[in-house]
Amino acid sequence: MLSEWPPVWVLLATYKRTKTALGTIESLHKYLEYPNLHFHICDDGSGKTDDGTDRWHVGVLADKFSEFYPDVTWHEMDTKPGEFDTGGNINRGIRMARDNGCSIHMLVFDDFALLRELDIRPHADLLDINANAGFIRLSYLVSGLASLCVGYFSSQRLGGGGHNWLRFIRDWSLENPWKTETYLISTQPYVAHLRFFEAYGWHPEHVNPGIAETELGGQYLRSSLGENGPQVLYYIGPFTTHAPWGHMAGRANYYAKI
């Protein structure tokens, strides 16, 4: 049942890239799995499409969403040509989700596409029930990230089992053979709870996407909350099932008695 799962707003952040945005939407339809999604277009002042047809960019994307989700919503920023307000555009979408009773959102930019199935039930479940969880990276891992493997149990709607996560941490406590990666926050893409932005601040506004991302990470790193605020996580999978081995004999078997 839909009511068993918290709503998740999928925010598609876009500016003019009509062809790639249509590919993003197609991939979401094909591969994204979750029982209670709402799709919202966050447009940073595109106006017309970039394909020479002079169509309304948002309208083209909304028509594509409507092929499988007729209740798609959108907003348009009044950003002037040649300027950026990536953060303001995303923040407006987050606040619209909040004002419609939704605390969890997934951000996707219009130049990213899913290449295989992505089930975000574990992500939404943890964000919904655990106040220590704030921001879940969906992008690739990079060398130099410091993390701790942590375990959380899911709610009964997901079976109540345990799941492993990487919790990214600010400071290394061992010699790091790689360049230390300080960008714990990646907005390409992610799933997050409103509590994360209430704790560390909103996406920086009136700057380009790269600066908006790095400065959001800076807000997290500089926070006086330290490691006590909502965490940045990366999903591994249910306990043991991500490994290629299974345990065939119980702990009380012969060797365990020796």
Q: From CA 230, how far away is CA 220, in angstroms rounded?
A: 10
Tell me how crowded residue 102 is: count the other CB atoms within 10 A of its CB. Answer: 18
Query: How does pLDDT run across 186-221, given as a tens digit for each residue?
Result: 998 999 999 999 999 999 999 989 999 999 999 999
Domain count within the chain: 1
Question: What CATH number is associated with residue 226?
Answer: 3.90.550.10
Which structure tokens are listed for 122? 């574990």
Cis peptide bond prior to 209, omega within 30° of 0: no
Phi (first) and psi of residue 160, to 5 degrees:
75, 5
Domain hosting 216: range is 2-257
Q: What is the pTM of this model?
A: 0.91
Q: From CA 22, how far away is CA 206, in angstroms rounded?
A: 26
Query: How does pLDDT run across 67-95, given as a tens digit for each residue?
Result: 999 999 999 999 988 888 999 999 999 99
Which structure tokens are listed for 163? 């799941």
Which structure tokens are listed for 230? 């909502």
Q: Are 209 and 120 in contact (CB under 8 A)?
A: no
Query: How does pLDDT run across 2-56, given as a tens digit for each residue?
Result: 569 999 999 999 999 999 999 999 999 999 999 999 999 999 999 999 888 999 9
Q: Are 72 and 40 in contact (CB under 8 A)?
A: yes
